Amino acid sequence: MVLIRCYEAADREACRDLWVELTLHHRRIYGVDTIGGEDPGSQFDEHLMAVGPERVWVAELEGAIVGLAGLIIDGTSGEVEPVVVTELRRGAGIGRALVSKVVDEAASLGVRLLSVRPVGRNTSAIQFFRDAGFDVLGHIETFMDLSGEREWVPGETIADRDFKM
């Protein structure tokens, strides 16, 4: 059975490894090796300093950290960021348990609107969050690629307009 608990300092390396795993996934789906920079694990450290360890939870299974979730608070709004479950443990309800913990914590802190911002090509994350109850479309962020360095693929239709991802 998975244990969802507060982050502890001893979890740092395992959480950095999970952050790297998420970064590598983003590199694969976008075909861009520079996403996350040369040391993507350091971005976990930056995130931890920005939100505080009290806003990070881990999923522990058989003594190993297999998942991570965080909560960013801004007044009465909040954002679930990040949610990552190690690839070998996905599909077992660990992500759902982590998100449930973050939702409960956000509600207890008086958060009125809770959001998530998965990247456009991460369709499995979009499906996961929709199934977890994030069913209100709030903001849409679109890009114009002035560099021409990335290859975009056909994406979704929103408001009768086609978008690439």
Q: Report the CATH number at residue 127.
A: 3.40.630.30
Q: What is the helix, strand, coil percentage profile of the chain, to 5?
A: 40, 25, 35
Q: Look up residue 133 and give its two tokens.
A: 């109850």
Task: Please report which confidence band the pLDDT of residue 162 belongs to, taking 50, 70 and 90 as the band edges.
Answer: very high
Is 154 contained in some domain? no
Q: Look up residue 40 and give its two tokens.
A: 């993507």
Helix (H) or strand (E) holding 128: helix 123-131
Question: Has residue 149 got a pLDDT over 90?
Answer: no
Share of the chain above pLDDT 70, in %: 100
- 87: containing domain: 3-139
Is 12 contained in some domain? yes
For the entire predicted model, the pTM comes to 0.93
Is 96 contained in some domain? yes
- Mean predicted confidence (pLDDT) in 121-131: 94
pLDDT digits (tens, 9 = 90+) for 92-125: 999 999 999 999 999 999 999 999 999 999 999 9
Q: Evaluate whether 95 touches 77 at the Cβ level (below 8 Å).
A: no
Is 150 contained in some domain? no
